[in-house]
Amino acid sequence: MKSLTEKLAILSDAAKYDASCASSGGAKRDSRDGKGVGSSGGSGICHAYAPDGRCISLLKILMTNFCIYDCAYCVNRVSSKVERARFSVEEVVRLTIEFYRRNYIEGLFLSSGIIKSSDDTMADMVRIAKTLREREGFRGYIHLKTIPDASPELIEEAGKYADRLSINIEMPTEAGLSQLAPEKSAKGIRKAMGEVRLRREASREVTHTGKRRAAFAPAGQSTQVIVGADAADDRDVLTQSANLYANYGLSRVYYSAFSPIPDASRMLPLKKPPLMREHRLYQADWLLRFYGFDVSEIASQGMLDLEVDPKTAWALAHREQFPVDVNRAAREMLLRVPGFGVKTVDRIVAARRRGAVRFEHLVAMGAVTKHAKPFITLPGWTSRGLDDQALRARYAPAPEQLSLF
Amino acid sequence: MRQVVLPIVGTVAAWRTEARALAAEGIAPEHVIWHRGAAPPDLFAGDAPKGQGRSLTIPRAALAEIEAALCHSDPERFARAYRLVLRLNDGLVWGDRSDPDIRRMMEHAKSVRRDIHKMHAFVRFREVPSDGRRAFAAWFEPEHHTVEAGTPFFAKRFGDMDWVIATPEITARFDGKLTFHETVGAERPPEDATEELWRTYYANIFNPARVMVKAMQSEMPKKYWKNLPEADLIPGLIRDADRRVAEMAAHEAEEAPARRLAVARRMAVPERPVPTAGTLDALRAEAAACTRCPLHAPATQTVFGVGPPDAEVMFVGEQPGDQEDLAGRPFVGPAGQVFDQEAEAAGLDRSRLYVTNAVKHFKFAPRGKRRLHQKPNGSEIHACNTWLDQELALVKPKLIVAMGATALQALTGSGEGILKRRGQVERLEDGTPVLVTVHPSYLLRLPDPELAKVERRRFREDLEQAARLAQS
């Protein structure tokens, strides 16, 4: 019989490959009434950072790492020889509450290997969420991973107790998924996402008697895709993301550079992808969602540039569209200037109603003028060097080593 | 010079009172010396020349920012804030970042908010003995004077327990009510056993294959480490990371026993009943895996027809829309609701109809979080004809109703001139009658409400005709 500490070690080690740590956007709750514990609804809080640079916001664990699936990229696949453990419902509840009361975490992120069947597994996970909410009066954040093919009744219940639901799409293409995860089906995963979107929309409609319905996964749904374990390029990855955002209204797509795992399957590539690839995908994802870029614009080459960020890469490749007149250009064009973020652009648009914006004002508005300089003109500054072949070199720093301590 | 002494607890509220009083007396900012806590003897203290008194009105947004900035550790903050509120009363516009006072105030407010955020993140409670409800205590060292502004958060979060957050200057205490007092004889609470579990979690959630120390330190600066129970694990985790990754690489995967794999495989892919060949259910299952045209890839699923296999009337629409694609059933979105209402009004029994689409996958263009409907082209309609033909062959309806040009094209080979052909009955090669009408989504797209009413009535008349034809 393993101790709680031993189980925790095994089942948190097994959960680390899920990148999501978001704890924002949950239903507004607090415990000022003194009858429960916890609050949520504001921006998320990262309570610690691990030396891998990732934030620790939630108690991220698997209920069990026993699994009947054989997904090549996963450390918990049935054919792997990792040590196995299983938490009881009570153990997960106790860990969550005790960690929460000490202000270590914002809540629970519960995932699981699949034991017996999808429904058996999902039912146990729902039981944990239900016990936390109903018996312990827990008002913190709960993120439940939904199990592929779990029954609609269980998903309905999961969405009632959880702030966020997620199901991982795992691979950028259907072919990649069926090759590496033979038991999973991309269509089945997408159907599950569609169901969650429909339920979320239905929960926001008032009933015909004018009452509000119970919230369903108020913090939305997210997914994760593993990058670098199959042959898909960045365009494939981003095309899928744009599709998922449009189809299922996802809050986030997380990218996880395939990371060496203990007892790795021989089907996996020997070389791990550079972490920079993952970083560039996140940048590109942001450009798709907040900057009005299209996948075909930023990933026309198939792979993103590893040396320069995708926005700068686009600007360098489309110099004919610059320099941009900061006082006249449309908001859409300002958003395409390297060194200007969404906030900066909003400030510029607000400020230029009061009078001309000068170069000296830009820093106070949050612009990174060093990056923006060649691409803009405004009083106090004239663009120079746009046609200089060496311009790119100014944005592509010499490679630097990442781990020094 | 006027000396003003602000208390340690309640500094910001006291500053506000003092600033109003000074302004009422008309005392200029350069004639005020501000202190917090005890006032040191000042050679120049005395009274200050009075000017024209006035009352202060400050925009709410500005006041919130100034009060946050007053929690900063900069000793000049009180004087700067007083100067700024007078200038705001003299017409300076709040929000202008080119003004150095405003900009400094905003920067200070920002670092104070960050410090408060870090307090919410890095306070670590330890359980302490208690007679009543559970009690916890923490020792924390903020960078700025943020205890009073930062701890109401904990009162909202930990409403069902007693807690104390002690800092070098002020201690916040909560027992159902939040109070503040100056810290005397601060002591760190003794360790509690759960800390060891937390350290276990911290060590194991770390991924040694992706060490990024800089990213960690920019968010969790070393100055906070001394009060974090997990922080002393960090150097060891970093030191061992490379060795652990090398071990993983060297460790060749061993094959699991074949028997275990076979058992798991049987459990993971449960047997599902196979529908009898030659039925609609079998056709539906076959169509679910259709890849005959590129539309299957971005869509969620094949949306096959629904209805009794012996239905007398078959309705054919264009293609599933956004809602149908998610739900997997045809005619459940806005156009489907129009169809339901009008079919019922026309006296058709909806449960006796077979409803399907010419094209079985949703064609759309993604735009942010929406999907814009796109018309299927000839080759897509052609690719999907195989399913429609088989549906017709199995259901053998007495009457087909073609709704919209796409359905008409799929059924008769041409969708041209739909508005001229509507209301008429055409025939398939085998003689099955096809009643032509518009697609219900056409009714939803008409911008002119009068025209929409007229068209909706005509649509109902078409459905009434269908009901008559079905009975004859």
B28 in contact with A, Cβ within 8 Å = no
Any B CB within 8 A of A92 CB: no
Please tell me if residue B337 touches chain A, with a CB cutoff of 8 Å.
no
Taking CB atoms and an 8 Å cutoff, what residues of chain A touch B121? 45-48
Please report, rounded to a whole number, the percentage of residues in chain B having pLDDT higher than 70.
97
Across the range A71-81, mean pLDDT stands at 87
At A403, is the pLDDT very low, low, confident or very high (cuts 50, 70, 90)?
Answer: low
Residues of B in contact with A108 (CB under 8 A): none
Interface touch A101/B125, C-beta < 8 Å: yes
Count of Cβ atoms closer than 10 Å to residue A107 Cβ: 26
Which has the minimum average pLDDT: A119-123, A210-214, B344-348? A210-214
Q: What is the pLDDT of residue B195?
A: 95
**Confidence at residue B252, expressed as pLDDT on a 0 to 100 scale:** 63
Total-model pTM: 0.91
Residue B338, pLDDT above cutoff 80: yes
> How far apart are the C-alpha atoms of A62 and B201, rounded to whole Å?
12
**First-to-last C-alpha distance (Å) of chain A:** 39
Mutate to test the interface with A, among B157, B255, B291 (most CBs of A within 10 A): B157
Give pLDDT, residue A404. Answer: 47
Q: In b/e form, how buried is each residue of A284-295, taking b as 16+ CB within 10 angstroms? A: bbebbbebebeb
Residues near B165 by Cβ (< 8 Å), separated by ≥ 6?
A: B123, B137, B138, B140, B147, B151, B154, B171, B172
The pLDDT of residue A43:
85
**Bridge pairing between strands A324-325 and A376-377:** parallel
Upstream peptide bond of B168 is cis (omega within 30 degrees of 0): no
Distance from CA of B291 to the nearest CA of A (A): 12
Contacts of B294 (CB under 8 A, 6+ apart): none
Q: Report the C-alpha gap between A236 and A301 in whole angstroms.
A: 11
B253 pLDDT tier (thresholds 50, 70, 90): low
Of B158, B251, B325, the CB nearest to A31: B158
HSE-up of B466 (CA within 13 Å, CB side)? 33
Max alpha carbon distance in chain B (Å)? Answer: 112
- For CA atoms B385, B387, B388, B389, the dihedral sign is positive
CB of A81 less than 8 A from some CB of B: yes
CA distance A205 to A201: 7
In the block, tokens 């600033």 appear at B19
* Over residues A81-102, mean pLDDT: 96
8 Å CB contact between A162 and A217: yes
Looking at residue B24, what is its pLDDT?
A: 94
Please give the Cα distance from A6 to A259 (Å, whole number). 24
Q: Are B157 and B168 in contact (CB under 8 A)?
A: no
Contacts of A201 (CB under 8 A, 6+ apart): none
Are residues B300 and A247, on separate chains, in Cβ contact within 8 Å? Answer: yes
Residue of B nearest to A147 (CA): B268
- Tell me the C-alpha to C-alpha distance, in Å, between residue A220 and each of A237, A246, B366: 21, 14, 19
Domains of chain B in sequence order: 2-118 (no CATH), 123-182 (no CATH), 194-248 (no CATH), 280-471 (3.40.470.10)
Contact criterion met (CB < 8 Å) for B370 and A104: no
User: Which residues from chain B sit within 8 angstroms of residue A32, using beta carbons?
Assistant: 155-156, 159
**A37 in contact with B, Cβ within 8 Å:** yes
| CB proximity B258 to A under 8 Å | no
Torsion angle (degrees, nearest 10) of CA B418, B423, B428, B431: -160
Q: Write out pLDDT tens, residues A232-256.
A: 999 999 999 999 999 999 999 999 9
What is the pLDDT averaged over residues B245-274? 74
What average pLDDT does the segment A353-372 reach? 91
**SS3 call for B264:** helix
Return d(Cα A116, Cα A86) in angstroms, integer: 13
pLDDT at A405 exceeding the cut of 50:
no
Do A103 and B127 lie within an 8 Å CB cutoff?
Answer: no
Q: Which domains does chain A have, with CATH numbers?
A: 4-273 (3.20.20.70), 311-395 (no CATH)
- Are the beta carbons of A142 and A58 closer than 8 angstroms? no
How does residue A258 score in pLDDT terms, banded at 50, 70 and 90?
Answer: confident
Q: Which residue, among B107, B177, B198, would best test binding to A if mutated, counting the most A CBs under 10 Å from its CB? A: B198
Q: Distance (Å) from the C-alpha of residue A8 to the closest C-alpha of chain B?
A: 7
Residue with tokens 């938490």: A87
Q: Does B176 touch chain A (CB under 8 A)?
A: yes
User: Is B256 close to A79, i.e. CB distance below 8 A?
Assistant: yes
Listed residue (B387, B469, B391) closest to B433, CA to CA: B469
Q: What is the complex's ipTM, to 2 decimals?
A: 0.91
Query: DSSP 3-state assignment of B140?
Result: coil
User: Tell me: the pLDDT tens digits for A1-57?
Assistant: 899 999 999 999 999 888 888 888 888 999 999 899 999 988 889 999 999 989 999
Where would I find the beta strands (DSSP E) of B364-451? 364-367, 370-373, 399-403, 425-427, 433-437
Tens digits of per-residue pLDDT, B182-221? 998 777 888 889 999 999 999 999 999 888 899 899 999 9
Distance CA A287, CA A314 (A): 11
Cα B426 from Cα B436, distance rounded (Å): 7
Enumerate the β-bridge partners of residue A401. Answer: none
Q: Which tens digits make up the pLDDT trace of B75-116?
A: 999 999 999 999 999 888 888 777 889 989 999 999 999 999
The DSSP H or E segment spanning B115 is helix B100-122
| Alpha carbon distance B289, B301 (integer Å) | 9
Q: Give Cβ neighbours of residue B161 (< 8 Å, ≥ 6 apart).
A: A37, A101, B133, B134, B135, B136
Task: Please give the Cα distance from A167 to A111 (Å, whole number).
Answer: 10
Q: Are B457 and B463 in contact (CB under 8 A)?
A: no
Per-chain mean pLDDT for chain B: 91
SS3 of chain A: the string is: CCCHHHHHHHHHHCCCCCCCCCCCCCCCECCCCCCCECCECCCCCCCEECCCCCEECEEEEECECCCCCCCCCCCCCCCCCCCCCECCHHHHHHHHHHHHHCCCCCEEEEECCCCCCHHHHHHHHHHHHHHHHHHCCECCEEEEECCCCCCHHHHHHHHHHCCEEECCCECCCHHHHHHHCCCCCHHHHHHHHHHHHHHHHHHHCECCCCCECCCCCCCCEEEEEEECCCCCCHHHHHHHHHHHHHHHCCCEEEEEECCCCCCCCCCCCCCCCCHHHHHHHHHHHHHHHHCCCCHHHHCCCCCCCCCCCHHHHHHHHCHHHCCEECCCCCHHHHCCCCCCCHHHHHHHHHHCCCCCCCHHHHHHHCCCHHHHHHHEEECCECCCCCCCCCHHHHHCCCCCCCCCC
- HSE of B361, CA atoms in CB hemisphere, 13 A: 24
| Residues of A with Cβ-Cβ distance to B213 under 8 angstroms | 51, 53, 403-405
Dihedral sign from CA coordinates of B253, B259, B262, B264? negative
Name the maximum alpha-carbon separation found in chain A.
73
Return the half-sphere exposure (C-beta side, CA atoms, 13 A cut-off) of residue A225: 31
| Amino acid identity for residue A40 in this structure | S
Contacts of B203 in chain A (CB under 8 A): 9
State both tokens at B201: 């979690």
Query: Which helix (H) or strand (E) is B61 found in, with range?
Result: helix B60-69
Report DSSP state, residue B306.
Answer: B
Q: What is the tens place of the pLDDT at every residue in A197-236?
A: 999 999 988 777 777 788 899 999 999 999 988 889 999 9
Considering CB atoms only, which of A34, A116, A361 is closest to B160? Answer: A34
In this prediction, residue A270 carries a pLDDT of 65
Chain B residues touching residue A33 (CB < 8 angstroms):
159
